[in-house]
Structure 1
Amino acid sequence: MRQVLDRASKFRRQPRSRLSRALRRDGFAGAALAFAVALAVSGCAELERQGRLFSAPTPPPIDKPAPPRQENRSSVQHKELLAQFGGEYQAPVAERYLDAILAKLALASDTPGQAAYKVTILNTPVVNAFALPSGNLYITRGLLALASDASEAAAVMAHEIAHVTLRHSALRAEKEREAALISQAAGVIQSRQKGEEERSRQRLSVASFSRQQELDADEAGVKVIARAGYDPYGAARFLTALGRSSELRAALYGKRKDSMSFDIMSTHPSTPERVSRAVAVARQIGAPGIGQRERNGYLSAINGVAFGDDPMEGYVRDRKFTHPRMRFTFTAPEGFLLENSSEAVFGVRQADNEALRLDTVRNPQFESLEAYVGSGWVDGLLASSVKKLDVNGLPAVVAVARAGEWNFRLAVIQSGDYLYRLIFAVRSLTDEADKRFMDSVMSFRRITPEEARETHALRISIVTAGPGDTPESLAAQMTTPNRPLEYLRLLNGLDENEPVIAGERYKIVTE
């Protein structure tokens, strides 16, 4: 669907959007209804994209000695990571718990004299972690939700620290510079075809180099957590959870399972490869059952941590999207699944191959909404279809565009200094489909300050299973609207037919 909307839109640069704090691409630039639901399962720069979809760069290598800790907290990298990942999330109990794990890892590391690391929790559901040579280690609350016990969290942190101690970032940058020079030289002294072949070989070389770094960091991390007294199999369990999370999102958004695996140009090995390697390293240390998992302590530490989108940056509940800070809401047509990303709100309707996108831009000060719609913002516009209407007291314009075999129903709604742009894509714009789309357009409205104040985040809640409880009965308590049973199993590391155990504690999602 990305190519579909690319053909439909010319993507002229627009003023910066405020639909989310992380929105960095304006207007319909790069507009796509591909959700990037292939979650990048990597253990470092992008462990997994989940919830809000960020495309955050890996922090650049730092080869200079780290300045004092206090200066690092206000460093450019620290500020950039906070800006890209929703800011710092305040969870003192969880932070102290993670810092205690780090203290154990430091004593067990290969370089026990190195500067002590300290955790910052990032306010995003994206599953990610970073470690910087400065002594800052970052973990997203999305990762906290996915990890099932202390050994899994320890494995992630040990993996990230291993990247730093092994100087992976600097070595990878050096390898990329070397490959670029070789490719450039090949293009000068050889034919164009030979030059392209050499560039392909160099890209493969860099990808292989990066994959090996991931495996090396996994191995180092497993050994460190074992020496710290944690279950060395925690790394394999967490990597398995990442793979299951990827599969669940693929099922939700209709991406084929075979397209989720990494191709040969991927910068990281696939989850099955990493799981098998992590298990092999753990088996060299001992049989399953050794080391501490500390599940109860971990669950107590993350009890109450927010789950999913930060509601003040917009959130999805079933087919409804609400943005309390910008004070608007709209409801997608029946059968759509919505996702709030860093670019826009996206939606897909699996059965009928339909999609939608909503974003916002500052009013570019055209004479009228009709002039804006006809300004070249969208390709294939049918001028005769442009019509003015009132959407719950807000001026709006709707239109139709066509590109190849695809039809698009467009709506631009003005509210104050901003234009809200809805685009629906469908192969056949039947009367029924057009009515569904127009009903969704007409659902757009401003919300009152009282409605905005009533917004509540979803949270991780820890419950104890009773004698008669089953996965289904615990899932019935979940607020997650789509596939609560699958999410219950995912968040608690339960296999498909694995029961819950009376007296054991489990994560559920509640308001």
Structure 2
Amino acid sequence: MSALFDSLKRPLGVLAVFAVLLPLLGACATAPGTGRTIFTGGLSEEGEAELGRKEHPKVMAQYGGSYTDPELNAYVTSVGNFLAQTSELPDLKFTFTILDSPVVNAFALPGGYVYITRGLLALAGNEAEMAGVLAHEIGHVTARHTAERYGQSMAANIAGAGLGVLLGGPAAQAGGTLGALLVRSYSREQEFEADMLGGRYLGRARYDTRAMAGFLTQLQGHSRLEAALAGQPEKADAFNIMQTHPRTADRIERALQQAGVNPVADPIRAREIYFQKIDGMLYGDKPEEGYIRGRSFAHPKLKFAFEVPEGFRLYNQSRQVLARNSDGSAAIVFDRAPKAYDGSMTDYLANVWGQKLRLSGLEAIEVNGLKAATAGASNGRQDLRLLTLRYDAKTIYRFLFITKPDQTAGFNRGFRETTYSFRRLSDAEAAKLKPRRVRIYEVKAGDNPGKIAARMPFAEENLKRFLVLNGFDENVVLQRGQSVKIIAE
């Protein structure tokens, strides 16, 4: 502390501190949505719009672009614009995008860029629920939460720089780290504000304001199911949109009360219209990413397929396919080599992919007519089995099998079967692979949830998937003529 006081006693030290802290003054603004004064760090509304324009292409690339259904896109945009016109920024040009992703998510960028995934659209039960999601994201824009987070980061960095003047570099670095933590996600207070504003816009547009809390319950049911299917029921939050949007149904209700949002008489729900719009929408993985079908993975565009051992679950990720067993003690990672290689597969494995490993038992093999090579390795904690396959002159595929040393022998047979399950698909086989789609089904006499769920093409938990997809509990009684969502190929 004496160094701090000594610096303040010196005129130059005082001037340095004020020079660093001066940018904190005069960089405040009033958020249109809340009327609250926020520190923006000098980020203007024009700057927010420019930031949104720059980040938009990155979002599109990360999520696989927009979903190419003009009618559905026009529908979502019309609902979004209707809500935006009720906001405090009716003249802001909002851009609403359906992302071509099965992940259940929605978010907004500054400048009016609002995103909703087709995965979330499949889960919503009516137009009011979709509108509630859009209204919440519009609320983040009108409250200028991104500018506020930017201001928080700037304040932390400037404060850190000020401490750096007085105490040296490490303090400045600590300030920068704090700033990064502050902008990592929206705070609970900001989510509360977005719910207040979203409820306000829903009410002004005559939508059912209860849809916000009701849909949140369905989102939480979906996250629990996904976690259970992944063999990690204790990690439901990791499969939940609420991981980035910390909210509860009770908190949403309090937000609506605090905002003075009253229930709307004869509110818009538009369930049947919504069902008509999403009927036929792609569900799950798209053809460009390949399909998981039980323990099999097949790619209709790249024309190959393989199967993982019994007890393993597959996960299709952007750059790889992952499989792991129920307790997570063993895993399989499949991907495509980033670059072409002209040499043999043994040379590639030894000199490129496995060059930093101490390989053992390196050998050339053949897998269903494809040149391949395999070798073992260990990092002390895990045993590794590497496999490379040349698909064609430009394409090499790779498997990495990972086990605990004391369990490796027990997985050898299953991993060998996976190795020799890899094969090319003929044009006819690839053409038979079809994506899954949301379909609207009319309940017939004698139907029950179990009977309808049996129509769906999943390998497990069809009934639970059907109930979550429709927001039903286990005691639901279906009525003849009722419309429900199912998944079909």
- 1:18-41: CA deviation from partner (whole Å, max 9, x where unpaired): xxxxxxxxxxxxxxxxxxxxxxxx
Alignment of 1:57-456 (within 5 A): 63-64=45-46, 76-112=54-90, 114-131=91-108, 136-186=113-163, 189-190=166-167, 206=183, 210-257=187-234, 260=237, 268=244, 270-272=246-248, 275-282=249-256, 284-286=260-262, 291-351=267-327, 353-365=329-341, 367-375=343-351, 377-378=353-354, 381=357, 383-416=359-392, 417-427=394-404, 428-456=406-434
Q: Is it true that 1:473 corresponds to 2:451 in the alignment?
A: yes
Computed over aligned residues only, the root mean square deviation of the Cα atoms, in angstroms, reads: 3.3
8 A contact 1:387–1:397 mirrored in 2: yes
Q: Which residue of 1 aligns with 2:481?
A: 503
Query: 2: distance between equivalents of 1:224 and 1:346?
Result: 42
SS at match of 1:386: strand
SS at match of 1:413: strand
Give the structure-1-normalised TM-score.
0.77
8 A contact 2:64–2:100 mirrored in 1: yes
SS at match of 2:337: strand
Q: Which runs of 5+ in 1 are unaligned?
A: 1-60
Question: Which has the larger displacement, 365-374 or 431-440?
Answer: 365-374
Question: Which has the larger displacement, 285-294 or 454-463?
Answer: 285-294
Query: 2: distance between equivalents of 1:267 and 1:458?
Result: 27
Give the structure-2-normalised TM-score.
0.80
Query: 1: distance between equivalents of 2:226 and 2:138?
Result: 29
| 1:244–1:436 distance in 2 versus 1, CA, 3 Å | same
8 A contact 1:109–1:224 mirrored in 2: yes
Amino acid at match of 1:308: G
Match for residue 459 of structure 1 among 432, 437, 442: 437
8 A contact 1:353–1:426 mirrored in 2: yes
Deviation at 1:254, TM superposition (A): 2.4
Query: 2: distance between equivalents of 1:134 and 1:205?
Result: 21
- 1:277-326: CA deviation from partner (whole Å, max 9, x where unpaired): 21223455346986222111111110000000112221211111112222
Deviation at 1:334, TM superposition (A): 1.1
| 1:207–1:381 distance in 2 versus 1, CA, 3 Å | closer
8 A contact 1:243–1:271 mirrored in 2: no
Q: Considering Cα pairs closer than 8 Å and 6+ residues apart, tell me whether 1 or 2 has the greater RCO.
A: 1
Q: Which has the larger radius of gyration?
A: 2
8 A contact 1:62–1:133 mirrored in 2: no
| 1:115–1:468 distance in 2 versus 1, CA, 3 Å | same
Q: Percent identity?
A: 35
8 A contact 1:302–1:460 mirrored in 2: yes
Deviation at 1:188, TM superposition (A): 6.1
Query: 2: distance between equivalents of 1:467 and 1:188?
Result: 78
SS at match of 2:218: helix
8 A contact 2:203–2:209 mirrored in 1: yes
| 1:268–1:444 distance in 2 versus 1, CA, 3 Å | closer
Query: 2: distance between equivalents of 1:290 and 1:187?
Result: 60
Amino acid at match of 1:453: A
Deviation at 1:352, TM superposition (A): 6.9
Question: Which has the larger displacement, 496-505 or 377-386?
Answer: 377-386
Q: Which residue of 2 aligns with 1:41?
A: none
Q: Which runs of 5+ in 2 are unaligned?
A: 1-42
Deviation at 1:387, TM superposition (A): 1.6
- 1:376-398: CA deviation from partner (whole Å, max 9, x where unpaired): 74488553321211011111111
Query: 2: distance between equivalents of 1:185 and 1:65?
Result: 26
SS at match of 1:139: strand
Query: 2: distance between equivalents of 1:425 and 1:111?
Result: 53
SS at match of 1:285: coil
- Give the count of matched residue pairs: 441
8 A contact 2:295–2:309 mirrored in 1: yes
Query: 2: distance between equivalents of 1:453 and 1:62?
Result: 52
Q: Which residue of 1 aligns with 2:461?
A: 483
Q: Which residue of 1 aligns with 2:25?
A: none
| 1:79–1:62 distance in 2 versus 1, CA, 3 Å | farther
Query: 2: distance between equivalents of 1:93 and 1:324?
Result: 26
